[in-house]
Amino acid sequence: MRTAEIKRKTAETDITLYLNLDGKGESEISSGVGFMDHMLTLLAKHGGFDLRVDCKGDTEVDGHHSVEDIGIALGQALKSALGGKVGIKRYGSALIPMDEALIQSAVDVSGRGYLGYRLEIPSEKVGCFDTELVEEFFMALTREADICLHIVGLSGKNSHHIIEGAFKSAARSLREAVEIDARFSESLPSTKGAL
């Protein structure tokens, strides 16, 4: 089983996160930020990951620390669960429609953290959620997981749809990239011999 559990405690957040890459898409999410709970549930379901997140954060300030620190913890869990990366497909991509929104993403489990982020989100908030935190979450995730992720909004007017499409697209890309390739299950997908 490719699993990891991360415990992260700072003056701003106290997080316990469990990830199973070979799960059934089941989740138990309590982030303290309602919209983030929704997005992490989508990420687990469409990624085929089992994900448990318990975060107690300083949400009386705002959601920033909780959202970013969950991204950090999830990135660390992803990196740990992947281990030596032997047999993975390495690359994944997805083009996801969400009503009027169309979002494309691509991922490379490269060992190099990079986020290419081109989402234009019309509103500053969805409910109580600051939409600029979407980029903060994915930036923390890619940096800690050492993956290259590009997310591009091709169309969209509704902020909720754009963000939801981004999470679903990233989830599907990750799902493909971390799957074991039956043809090359004993080898590392790199001519350098390292990822």
Domain boundaries, the chain: 3-184
Angle CA 18–13–136, to nearest 5: 80
CA pseudo-torsion sign 2, 66, 163, 35 = positive
Q: CA 95, CA 46: separation in Å to the nearest integer?
A: 13
The percent of residues above 70 in pLDDT, for the chain, comes to 100
- pLDDT digits over 164-177, tens only? 999 999 999 999 99
Q: CA 163, CA 38: separation in Å to the nearest integer?
A: 11
What does the pLDDT read at residue 57? 94
Length of the chain: 195
- pLDDT digits over 106-163, tens only? 999 999 999 999 999 999 999 999 999 999 999 999 999 999 999 999 999 999 999 9
What does the pLDDT read at residue 1? 83
Domain 3-184 part of CATH 3.30.230.40 = yes
Q: CA 25, CA 43: separation in Å to the nearest integer?
A: 8
Closest of 109, 107, 126, 125 to residue 117, by C-alpha? 107
